Amino acid sequence: MNAGNFARFDPARVPTPCYVIDRARIVRNCRVLRRIADEAGVKALLALKAFSTFAVADVIGEYLDGTAASGLYEAILGGSRFSGEVHTFAPGLKQEDLAEMLQLSDHLILNSLTQYRRFAPMLAASENTALGLRLNPLHREIENPLYDPAGPWSRLGVDGTRLSPDDLAPFSGIHVHALCDHGFAPFARFLEAVETRFAHLFPAIDWINLGGGVLFTDDGFPVDDAIALLKDFRARTGLQIYLEPGTAVALHAGAVVAEVVDVGVTGAPVVITDASATCHMPDVLEAPFTPECIGAEILPRDLEPRNVNDPNIARVGGPTCLAGDTIGTYRFESMPAIGDRLVFLDLAYYTMVKNTTFNGTPLPAVAVWDSDTDSLEIVKEFSYADFENRLG
């Protein structure tokens, strides 16, 4: 396990549960993305759907070109809390939202020609918003169908192989996306598939948005190869290229700090924390995956209690009544005790944006820590009022 900068963090400095964002790692990630953008001649936008913590918006705005929104509220957030361009895409547009979305968005990407025809008069009246069309690349790299935009019955984008350049007359660009937490080789295959399938449309457009899902900022990622790949693609096509990194902006930059509130035995040791998988890190259950925990080794999620004969093995879960509210099964260096703090790693992206208050579970506090200076700021704490205000 590589705890990274969080190996130096004292979890006793924050309330629990708490999301802790490492500002210095956000800076490092954004510098990598800025280098790719500058050297490849492309633009990089933060995908707000993955990470939208505006407490570090100043850092992101310094290095990236803007934000990518998935609907009206994220477009408002991008325009009000962040800086740069705002590009908006939503699979289902509502007429009552469209005027404000057009006002906020530099690019508005439509999911279908049906959407365009329905809203054509309003869209035509907008002079400052570039229109794009999402095309389904029909290229599959993602095993989990929950995250695969190119899978069967996909509702994301149209089949561009059936379009002619004339079909794109209302649009200045296209959006394609097919990756999720992938490295360089899948990105190269994806780009090749896009060019193979849609090259006949390139003369009719000015720009292409390649979406996100590439781990450009992961340790060991071949950044030079990605720059060369993008430069060659741009030279061949003559298109302005946009990237939408989400995970890559916050990769290795966040942790969840939890306190142990109970230790019991139900066939094997069970540790209960005040952080919940289902409420505070739902991708742990949806993907599923087990987050790294400092001072512990990850064990298989399907480990049977009857096979546990090590006194330091325990299943860790949250405080809700959901039977499956399980963060993971671990072998600890020493068994946690009530009151101990656990630090779960790499949980900045697709956590804070997806949390809930199921069971009346309190939302985690938000802290920004700078691993270079060791400065710490608690930027947000939540109360009963936040829970109540989500109900109605």
pLDDT per residue as tens digits for the range 263-316: 998 878 999 999 999 999 999 999 999 999 999 999 998 888 888 889 999 999
Q: Which stretch of 13-17, 72-76, 86-90, 152-156 has the lowest confidence by average pLDDT?
A: 152-156
Residue 55, pLDDT score: 98
Q: Tens digit of pLDDT for each residue in 48-93?
A: 999 999 999 999 999 999 999 999 999 999 999 999 999 999 999 9
Residues of the chain with CATH 2.40.37.10: 4-17+254-347+362-389
Query: In CATH, what class is 4-17+254-347+362-389?
Result: mainly beta
Greatest Cα-to-Cα distance within the chain, rounded to the nearest angstrom: 70
Which CATH topology does 23-250 take? TIM Barrel (3.20.20)
Residues of the chain with CATH 3.20.20.10: 23-250
Q: What value does the mean pLDDT of the chain take?
A: 96
Residue bearing tokens 């704490």: 381
Task: Grade residue 36 by pLDDT with cuts at 50, 70 and 90.
Answer: very high
58, burial (CB in 10 Å: exposed 0-12, middle 13-18, buried 19+): exposed
366, burial (CB in 10 Å: exposed 0-12, middle 13-18, buried 19+): buried
Task: Grade residue 99 by pLDDT with cuts at 50, 70 and 90.
Answer: very high
Taking 90 as the threshold, does the pLDDT of residue 3 lie above it?
A: no
Residue bearing tokens 């990274």: 4
Q: CA–CA separation, 279 vs 283, rounded Å?
A: 10
Residue bearing tokens 């509502």: 94
348, burial (CB in 10 Å: exposed 0-12, middle 13-18, buried 19+): buried
Task: Grade residue 392 by pLDDT with cuts at 50, 70 and 90.
Answer: confident
- DSSP annotation string for 175-190: E----SSB-HHHHHHH
Residue 127, pLDDT score: 86
Contact by Cβ (8 Å): 75, 105: yes
362 φ/ψ angles, rounded to the nearest 5 degrees: -60, 145
Task: Grade residue 174 by pLDDT with cuts at 50, 70 and 90.
Answer: very high
Taking 80 as the threshold, does the pLDDT of residue 1 lie above it?
A: no
Q: Tens digit of pLDDT for each residue in 314-358?
A: 999 999 999 999 999 999 999 999 999 999 999 999 999 999 999
What is the average per-residue pLDDT within 375-385?
A: 97
Coil, strand or helix: which one is 174? Answer: strand
Residue 307, pLDDT score: 80
Q: Tens digit of pLDDT for each residue in 180-235?
A: 999 999 999 999 999 999 999 999 999 999 999 999 999 999 999 999 999 999 99
Question: How many residues appear in the chain?
Answer: 392
What crossing angle do the helices spanning 223-237 and 184-198 adopt, rounded to 10°?
10
- Is the previous residue joined to 288 through a cis bond, with omega within 30 degrees of 0? yes
